[in-house]
Each structure stands twice: as structure tokens, then as C-alpha cells.
Amino acid sequence: QWYLDSGCSKHMTGNKSLFVKFESKEGGDVTFGDNGKGKIKGFGSIGKNKTSIHNVLFVDGLKHNLLSISQLCNKDCRVSFEKDSCKVININNNKFNFVGYRHGNVYVVDIDDLHNVKCL
């Protein structure tokens, strides 16, 4: 599960096993919502088959997988939220990338449900 996060500047995870490509690189710290800190240990791409999300940080100690809304928007995606779901659409070709569903007060994406996403 990946959480869509408006306060997150980069895509990030604490699960190194999700990476299909990875480059180790010390890159400073990330401050968590509880003001704790985690060290950036590298970055890479995650995904399966034709689906891949690039420039994902590996942050030691991070307990959740976070998709940065600002990073999605920087990659020419439009993110729109509704009561029970959100949609991510490529603004260049108006093609649907993926949908997230609301669980409580957060929007969650299942990485296995992403289809042909290459630009993120």
C-alpha cells in the first residue's frame, strides 16, 4: 500500500525490497510527522512489469510507503480528490494513470493496480 501525501516532497519508502533498481547514496535526513528523523540511504525505481515509479527515496526507519502529490504534479499529472477516491491523470495525453481509495482520512494506492505507469 502507498499513501498519497501532500506534505511529502519526494516519493519514499522504508522497504528496500520494493526496489527494482537501487543506488546507494547518503542524502541527509527526512523529518517524520512525529518530528522523528530517518536517514536517506539511497534512491531508485519501484514497480512490476510495465509499471514503474522513479526517484523513490529509501529512508531508513520509514514505516509507510509515500507517494508525493507534488512530485506527481511535477511529472505532468493532475491529482483530483473526491469524497471516496482520488484520480491521477497524465495532463499531456489525458490518460488515466491510477486511482486511490479513501481509508479513514487518507488516500491509498495499491501498487499492483497501477497500469502502464512509467513517468512517475
Using one digit for the tens of pLDDT, what is the confidence trace for 45-72? Answer: 997 766 678 999 999 999 999 999 999 9
With cut-offs at 50, 70 and 90, classify the pLDDT of residue 36. confident
pTM listed for this prediction:
0.88
Does residue 4 carry a pLDDT above 90? yes
Does residue 90 carry a pLDDT above 60? yes
What pLDDT score does 120 carry? 55
Q: What is the b/e burial string over 7-20, where b = at least 16 CB atoms within 10 angstroms of the residue's CB?
A: ebebbbbbeeebbe
* Average pLDDT value for the chain: 89
With cut-offs at 50, 70 and 90, classify the pLDDT of residue 18. very high
Q: Is 27 left (phi over 0), alpha (psi -120 to 50) or beta?
A: alpha
Taken in order of first residue, the domains within the chain and their CATH numbers are 2-113 (2.40.70)
3-state SS class at 22: strand
| Residue 73: all three cell numbers together | 504534479
Measure the CA–CA gap between 114 and 103, rounded to whole angstroms. Answer: 18
- Report the DSSP pairing between strands 51-59 and 12-13: parallel
- Whether residue 78 contacts residue 88, with contact meaning beta carbons closer than 8 Å, is answered with yes
